């Protein structure tokens, strides 16, 4: 396990992601604490939890955007602290905050990422067209991204993340603020790419039904720690015969529902509807406009 195959395409022993005793603090706020996690190769793994649980911080450490100490995280056998560049080559990342430039066309946005991620020059054009097509954006590819619907913007961001043919796709709340049809559109396309490539997917979401439907295993995070881990069926069975994933969430984050999550006010806890959508819509407007 100490040897590191030079080629990113080599088979790797062990899991897609392994975190051991992960910790991160912002000043006196401990965002992630004693976090152990394994994401198996090829699975869709969901990281769930209320606002402020530490999901984004965890993901930013895995994706090398926040520092992690040596031996705390490996991605496909590579140590995130020691082999940062190699890890970056393996990962496609769609952040919680939107990442498309509204003034550029869809195609230009994807081309930018192709250059950024060193997609070989002679493969670039074909690869850009291929991911645009996979995300059903070929027709809209010449329009500025600011004219896209929310669902199209999300698919554009997926295209950006997929253009380097990552082995691990990391999505931070990929469907927030989308209508049900657009949500299904995102999940269907992720499923199609997975089927074709065997890519591993690590996703955060608050949408329990989506997690139930699309994640093979789930970790429930609350107040910087993992509180429950298993398949949706296992987690539901632990609560009771007719339990839903919402019940699992409530059971493990009970105080979050009463508005005490990490000392934040009630409207920062679980927003499955309006507030959250508005927040997401504002984010979209701010970034893409």
Ligand X SMILES: Nc1ncnc2c1ncn2[C@@H]1O[C@H](COP(=O)(O)OP(=O)(O)OP(=O)(O)O)[C@@H](O)[C@H]1O
Site residues (CB under 6 A) for ligand X?
26, 29, 31, 49, 51-57, 96, 262
Q: Are 189 and 135 in contact (CB under 8 A)?
A: yes
Q: Out of Mg ion, ligand X, none, which partner does residue 54 contact, by CB within 5 to 8 A per kind?
A: ligand X
- The token pair that represents 53 in the structure block: 């649980």
CB neighbour class for 210 (10 Å; exposed up to 12, middle 13-18, buried from 19): buried
What does the buried/exposed string (b/e) look like for 104-143 if buried means 16 or more CB atoms within 10 Å of the residue's CB?
bbbbbbbbbbbeebebeeeebeebbebbbebbebeebbee
Rounded least distance, CB 66 to Mg ion, Å: 13
Nearest CB to ligand X, comparing residues 8 and 229: 229
In 3-state terms, the chain is what percent helix, strand and coil (to 5)?
40, 20, 35
Rounded least distance, CB 201 to ligand X, Å: 17
Nearest CB to ligand X, comparing residues 31 and 220: 31
- Tell me if 56 contacts Mg ion by CB under 5 A: yes
Rama region for 79: left / alpha / beta (φ>0; ψ in -120 to 50; rest): beta
CA 222 to chain CA centroid, Å, is 17
| Among the residue ranges 47-55, 117-125, 153-161, 211-219, the one whose residues contact Mg ion (CB under 5 A) | 47-55
CA distance 74 to 78: 5
Q: Out of ligand X, Mg ion, none, which partner does residue 31 contact, by CB within 5 to 8 A per kind?
A: ligand X
Question: Nearest CA to 22 among 219, 271, 254, 247?
Answer: 219
Nearest CB to ligand X, comparing residues 84 and 268: 268
Nearest CB to ligand X, comparing residues 217 and 222: 222
CB neighbour class for 227 (10 Å; exposed up to 12, middle 13-18, buried from 19): middle
Q: Out of ligand X, Mg ion, none, which partner does residue 162 contact, by CB within 5 to 8 A per kind?
A: none
Rounded least distance, CB 62 to ligand X, Å: 12
Rounded least distance, CB 261 to Mg ion, Å: 13
Q: Out of Mg ion, ligand X, none, which partner does residue 258 contact, by CB within 5 to 8 A per kind?
A: none
Rounded least distance, CB 104 to ligand X, Å: 26
- Total interface residues for Mg ion by CB under 5 A: 3
Q: Do β-strands 73-75 and 17-26 pair in parallel, antiparallel, or remain unpaired?
A: antiparallel
Q: Out of Mg ion, ligand X, none, which partner does residue 269 contact, by CB within 5 to 8 A per kind?
A: none
| Among the residue ranges 19-27, 91-99, 107-115, 152-160, the one whose residues contact Mg ion (CB under 5 A) | 91-99
Q: Out of ligand X, Mg ion, none, which partner does residue 241 contact, by CB within 5 to 8 A per kind?
A: none
Specify which residues 200 forms β-bridges with.
Answer: 168
Q: Do β-strands 217-222 and 44-48 pair in parallel, antiparallel, or remain unpaired?
A: parallel
Rounded least distance, CB 8 to Mg ion, Å: 27
Nearest CB to ligand X, comparing residues 46 and 52: 52
Rounded least distance, CB 173 to ligand X, Å: 7
- The DSSP code for 216 is S
Rounded least distance, CB 244 to ligand X, Å: 20
**Dihedral Cα 20, 199, 64, 235, nearest 10 deg:** -40
Residue numbers at the binding site for Mg ion (CB under 5 A): 55-56, 96
């Amino acid at each position: 396990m100490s040897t590191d195959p030079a080629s990113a395409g080599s088979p790797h022993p062990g899991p897609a992601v392994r975190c051991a005793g992960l910790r991160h603090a912002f000043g006196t706020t401990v965002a992630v604490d004693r976090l152990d996690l394994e994401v198996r190769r090829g699975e869709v793994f969901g990281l769930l939890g209320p606002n402020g649980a530490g999901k984004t911080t965890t993901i930013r450490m895995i994706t090398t955007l926040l520092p992690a100490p040596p031996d705390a995280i490996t991605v496909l056998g590579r140590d995130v602290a020691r082999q940062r560049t190699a890890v970056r080559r393996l990962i496609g990342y769609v952040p919680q905050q939107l990442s498309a430039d509204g003034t550029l066309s869809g195609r230009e946005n994807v081309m930018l990422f192709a250059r950024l991620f060193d997609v070989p020059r002679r493969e670039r054009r074909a690869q850009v067209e291929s991911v645009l097509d996979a995300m059903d954006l070929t027709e809209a590819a010449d329009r500025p991204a600011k004219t896209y619907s929310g669902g199209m913007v999300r698919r554009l961001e997926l295209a950006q993340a997929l253009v380097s043919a990552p082995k691990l796709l990391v999505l931070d709340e990929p469907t927030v603020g989308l209508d049900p049809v657009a949500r299904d559109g995102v999940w269907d396309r992720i499923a199609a790419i997975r089927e074709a490539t065997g890519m591993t997917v690590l996703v955060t979401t608050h949408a329990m039904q989506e997690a139930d439907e699309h994640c093979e295993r789930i970790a429930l995070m609350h107040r910087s720690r993992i509180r429950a881990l298993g398949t949706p069926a296992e987690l539901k069975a632990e609560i009771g015969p007719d339990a839903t994933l919402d019940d699992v969430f409530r059971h493990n984050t009970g105080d979050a529902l009463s508005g005490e999550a990490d000392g934040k006010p009630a409207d920062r806890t679980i927003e499955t509807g309006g507030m959250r959508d508005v927040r997401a819509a504002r984010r979209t407007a701010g970034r893409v406009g």
